[in-house]
């Protein structure tokens, strides 16, 4: 369901991604200049994306979602259940790769996707929901804070390739 301020009369559908969605998902990432992940819609990269989709689909702890509006993929996100020892052995829930089509940002799609993910985390009895956002995405930080997330940790990454 779209946010209250969404003007479309057609409801937003959030569903588990299918193989047929891979090209649309990749296009969302390739259009993101801030991410810096080197994503591309070039044909020679298609095999790598399809292989990644297959790995995610086979994983019992990972789920790739799309948000669909008027029959088109307009957003995506991935979730991962992380079993752990902290919190008396309860599971954490990671949200990754949140992306809304650039021309549709600010219309409630991202908020609907995050709310969907949080409900999935509750259904899994997760102890917390966590996500990371590029340090330069100040508007996204405010968006996540409005949805109830709090800045609590400093993240570190080490690129291996």
Structural domains of the chain, with CATH: 13-146 (3.40.630.30)
pTM of the model: 0.88
Question: What pLDDT digit, counting tens, does each position of 125-159 carry?
Answer: 999 999 998 888 888 898 999 999 999 998 888 98
Asked if residue 6 lies in contact with residue 108, where contact means CB atoms within 8 angstroms, the answer is yes
Asked if residue 136 lies in contact with residue 34, where contact means CB atoms within 8 angstroms, the answer is yes
- Which pLDDT belongs to residue 2? 45
Residue given tokens 């570190």 in the structure block: 156
Query: How high does pLDDT run on average in the chain?
Result: 90
- Which pLDDT belongs to residue 9? 61
Asked if residue 98 lies in contact with residue 105, where contact means CB atoms within 8 angstroms, the answer is no
| CA–CA separation, 21 and 17 (whole Å) | 6
Question: What pLDDT digit, counting tens, does each position of 22-65 carry?
Answer: 999 999 999 987 766 788 898 999 999 999 999 999 999 999 99
Q: Which helix (H) or strand (E) holds 128?
A: strand 128-131
Question: What pLDDT digit, counting tens, does each position of 52-64 carry?
Answer: 999 999 999 999 9
């Amino acid at each position: 369901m779209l946010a209250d301020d969404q003007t479309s009369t057609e409801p937003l559908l959030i569903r588990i991604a299918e193989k047929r969605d891979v090209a649309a998902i990749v296009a969302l990432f390739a259009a993101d200049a801030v991410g810096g992940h080197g994503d591309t819609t070039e044909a020679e990269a298609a095999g790598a994306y399809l292989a990644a989709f297959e790995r995610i689909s086979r994983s019992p702890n990972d789920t790739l979602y799309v948000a669909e509006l008027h029959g088109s993929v307009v957003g995506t996100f991935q979730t991962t259940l992380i079993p752990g020892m902290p919190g008396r052995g309860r599971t954490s829930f990671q949200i990754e790769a949140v992306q809304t089509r650039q021309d549709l940002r600010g219309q409630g799609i991202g908020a609907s996707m995050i709310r969907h993910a949080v409900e999935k985390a509750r259904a899994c009895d997760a102890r917390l929901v966590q996500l990371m956002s590029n340090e330069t995405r100040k508007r996204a930080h405010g968006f996540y804070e409005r949805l109830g997330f709090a800045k609590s940790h400093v993240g570190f990454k080490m690129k291996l390739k």
